[in-house]
Amino acid sequence: MRIPIELAETVAAVADEGTLDAAARRLRLTPSAVSQRIKALEEQLGRVVLVRSKPARLTEAGTAVVRMARQVALLEHDTLTELGAGGSAETHTSVPLAVNADSLATWFLAPLARLAERHPIVFELHRDDQDFTAGLLESGTVMGAVTSRATPVAGCRVSALGAMRYEAVATPAFARRWMPDAASPATLVGAPVVDFDRRDDLQTLWLRASGIDESLPARHYVPASNDFATAVRLGLGWALLPDFQSRDALAAGELVRLGGAPIDVPLYWQQWNLRSPLLGAIADEVVAEGRRVLRPIRADAR
* Same domain membership, residue 183 and residue 62: no
Distance CA 147, CA 164 (A): 12
Q: Compute the 3-state secondary structure of the chain and give helix, strand, coil in percent, each to the nearest 5.
A: 45, 20, 35
Do the domain assignments include residue 251?
yes
Closest residue by Cα to residue 176 from 88, 96, 270, 256: 256
* Same domain membership, residue 192 and residue 59: no
Do the domain assignments include residue 263?
yes
Q: What is the pLDDT of residue 301?
A: 57
Q: End of a domain among 25, 54, 71? A: 71
* Same domain membership, residue 287 and residue 157: yes
Residues 18-32 pLDDT 10s? 999 999 999 999 999
* 152 SS3 class: coil
Q: What is the pLDDT of residue 157?
A: 93
Q: What is the pLDDT of residue 67?
A: 87
Closest residue by Cα to residue 156 from 69, 72, 43, 273: 273
Longest dimension (CA), the chain: 72
Q: Which amino acid, residue 228?
A: F
Residues 186-209 pLDDT 10s? 788 889 999 999 999 999 999 999
Residues 211-231 pLDDT 10s? 889 998 999 999 999 999 999
Do the domain assignments include residue 137?
no
Q: End of a domain among 13, 48, 71? A: 71
Residues of the chain where predicted confidence (pLDDT) is lower than 50: 89
Q: What is the pLDDT of residue 80?
A: 77
Task: Tell me the sheet residues that pair with 164.
Answer: 265
Do the domain assignments include residue 111?
no
Q: What is the pLDDT of residue 102?
A: 94
Q: What is the pLDDT of residue 29?
A: 93
Write out the E strands in 77-155: 93-99, 121-127, 144-147
* Same domain membership, residue 286 and residue 180: yes
Model pTM score: 0.81
Q: What is the pLDDT of residue 88?
A: 52
Do the domain assignments include residue 87?
no
Domain boundaries, position 164: 150-302
Number of domains in the chain: 2
* Same domain membership, residue 154 and residue 302: yes
Q: What is the pLDDT of residue 92?
A: 75
* Same domain membership, residue 33 and residue 179: no
CATH code for position 176: 3.40.190.290
Q: End of a domain among 71, 94, 122? A: 71
Q: What is the pLDDT of residue 89?
A: 47
Q: Which amino acid, residue 10?
A: T
